[in-house]
Amino acid sequence: MEFKTDAKTNYTLIQPENGALSAKMAAELRQKVYELLEHNSTNFIIDLKQQPEMAIEAGSVLLDLHLQLYEKGHSMVFINLQESVLQSMKKEQLHLSLNLSPTLVEAIDIISMEILERDILNES
């Protein structure tokens, strides 16, 4: 699986190529995030606009990745979900744990707020 990446100051945008969000794609996405962590990327926006559907197994991989990143003080937001992907996430109640955003601008705002929160908590 190929991913387009675009590194910015506070986040890295990752866009998977076309195809369903399968467990295999989710595992490859997790591997890509780990590789980017080694190159000093810390916060991630995952653009799922080209994924028309999601396998249930993929959801557990994404949730696990999300939790691992947050434990290390990083952020992850998913954007541009197709309606069928959003419904799959809601069915599995992933929308209660994952950061989901309709647009890139809102995802950047979420990451900015989380960076600010971590900075404030670290000062205390």
b/e 67-102 (16+ beta carbons within 10 angstroms → b): eebeeeebbbbbbbbbeebbebbeebebbeebbbbe
Q: What is the pLDDT of residues 76-101, one digit of tens each?
A: 999 999 999 999 999 999 999 999 99
Model pLDDT, residue 95: 93
How high is the pLDDT of residue 124?
A: 65
pLDDT at site 123 = 80
Rounded to two decimals, the pTM is 0.94
First CA to last CA across the chain, in angstroms?
42
SS3 label, residue 64: helix
